[in-house]
Chains A and B, each alone.
Chain A
Amino acid sequence: MRVILLGGGETVETIYFLARLFVRRGYDVTIVDPNPAEAQTLSRRVKATVLVGDGSDPVVLEEAGARQADLVLSLTPQDPDNLVACQVAQKLYGVPRTLALVNDPENEEVFCKLGITEVFSSTKVIGSLIEGRTVFDEITHLFPADEGRRYVTEIVLDGDAPVIGQTLTEIQLPPESLVVAIIRDGHVVVPGGEDRLQVADRLIVIALPEYQERLLLALAGEEA
């Protein structure tokens, strides 16, 4: 696979480690870094073609081999640069996969609207990592799914939980939420409509972040 990595400045270490990873996997890696000294260091540390230039400039992208590239990863510290680089790669050179780093999480949606659907927001990932590690008694956020758009959460029902004794069809869950599994007495139960919830049940639930609070309120009777 031919990969082009664009970046530098604050993201140069990320570029280096990714390049090293890809080279080990056997990919053909080209790096574009605007800073000459950095570019030289990179070229010494990793077995990849390193160019000095602005990755969002069509001329530079062409020199980097965009016409034959399979993947362009734009990881510069500036969102506009990442957007333009990916757009040029896609629309001018037809690169099939482009991935952009988005520093401002609000821009994720913006990039998608502008045609760059594979986006990666480090802020969001770190944020949800911190949240995911949070354990509040009966509630554990397990992990983000669907590229951070949904959360998988484990909820333990204690005696105060309002849904004790109700069936899954009876409880009012917020939209796009689903009880995926019930762990009871050490066994995993695939939930059916007739299962009545008991004390000490552990519910594995998948939901949207914005409905987290409502979900927890509905099931466990408390806020996280």
Chain B
Amino acid sequence: MVSNQYVIVVGCGRLGALLASRLSSLGSSVVVIDRQQAAFENLSTDFSGFRVAGDAAELDVLRQARIDRTQCLLAVTSYDNLNLMVAQVAQAVFGVRKVMARVNNPSREAVYREFGIETICPATLSAAAFLSALGSPGEAGQP
């Protein structure tokens, strides 16, 4: 699955920190990028990767995170356009094999699918999860 891979996670908010910590405990070499140093406090104690404080829109910051040897980049900041830009840069400029972007605005999500960027829209996923939980009335009542 993902172990032995070199992964960059852009954005260390709740989602980014969670992803980074899990990936690190599963054995991946993880580098987290965030503009704020304080954001790294969100990481769990199991996280054993590197932290880079900087703006991922700058190529230098990506290079500092060793994007040249990355197989997977996850752009999960709360700022859609940054995610999309970093994802495209990773793919087109650095040739990273697996790239995913978080896109909060569902209408933008559709557009970017066309570009070949794999996107995850938290709102859409959460809605689907709620709906499926509501979908079978018998299960909804379980603790």
Tell me which residues across on chain B come within 8 A of A58, comparing CB atoms. 107-108, 111
**Neighbouring B residues of A56 by C-beta, 8 Å:** 80-81, 108
In this complex, the interface size class of chain B, counting residues with CB under 8 Å from chain A, is 20 to 34
Contact A57–B105 (Cβ < 8 Å): yes
A56-B81, A110-B59, A114-B88 known; A91+B108 contact, CB < 8 A: no
B57 touches A (CB below 8 Å): yes
A91 to B88, CA, bound (A): 15
A88 surroundings in chain B (CB, below 8 A): 108, 111
1/0 per residue, CB under 8 A from A, across B86-113: the answer is 1011001100000000000101100100
Residues of A within 8 A of B111 (CB): 58, 87-88, 91-92
Task: Assess whether A59 is in contact with B85, with CB atoms less than 8 Å apart.
Answer: no
A57 touches B108 (CB 8 A): yes
Residue interface bits B61-99, CB-to-A below 8 A is 1, else 0: 000000000000000000111101110110011000000
Give the residues in chain B near A81, CB-CB below 8 Å. Answer: 81
* Interface presence of B115 (CB below 8 A): yes
Q: Are A113 and B93 in contact (CB under 8 A)?
A: yes
CB within 8 Å for A114 and B80 given contacts A79-B57, A84-B85, A106-B59: no
Chain B residues whose C-beta falls within 8 Å of the C-beta of A91 in the assembled complex: 111, 114-115
CA gap between A83 and B81 in the complex, in Å: 8
A104 to B61, CA, bound (A): 12
**Interface band, chain A:** 20 to 34
Closest to A58 in B: B107
Would you call B60 an interface residue if the criterion is a C-beta within 8 Å of the partner chain's C-beta atoms? yes
A203-218 interface (Cβ within 8 A of B): none
Contact A104-B58, Cβ < 8 Å, known A80-B79, A83-B81, A87-B115: yes
CA distance A182 to B60 in the complex (A): 42
- A4–B60 Cα gap in the complex (Å)? 32
A78 at interface, CB cutoff 8 A:
yes
| CB-defined contacts of A110 to chain B, threshold 8 Å | 59, 89, 93
The answer to whether A80 and B57 have CB atoms under 8 Å apart is: yes
Contacts of B108 in A (CB 8 A): 56-58, 84, 88
Most buried by A among B60, B79, B89, B92: B89
Q: Are A84 and B81 in contact (CB under 8 A)?
A: yes
Complex contacts, A113 vs chain B, CB 8 Å: 92-93
Cβ of A128 within 8 Å of any chain B Cβ, yes or no, is no
The answer to the question of A107 belonging to the interface, with a C-beta cut-off of 8 Å to chain B, is yes
On whether the beta carbons of A79 and B85 are closer than 8 Å, the reply is yes
A-B contact pairs, 27 of them (CB 8 A): A56-B81, A57-B105, A57-B107, A58-B107, A58-B111, A78-B57, A78-B81, A79-B85, A80-B57, A80-B82, A80-B84, A80-B86, A83-B81, A83-B84, A83-B88, A84-B81, A84-B108, A87-B115, A91-B111, A106-B59, A107-B59, A110-B59, A110-B89, A110-B93, A113-B93, A114-B88, A114-B89
Chain B residues with CB under 8 Å of chain A are 57-60, 79-82, 84-86, 88-89, 92-93, 105, 107-108, 111, 114-115
A residues with a Cβ closer than 8 A to B are 56-59, 78-81, 83-84, 87-88, 91-92, 104, 106-107, 110, 113-114
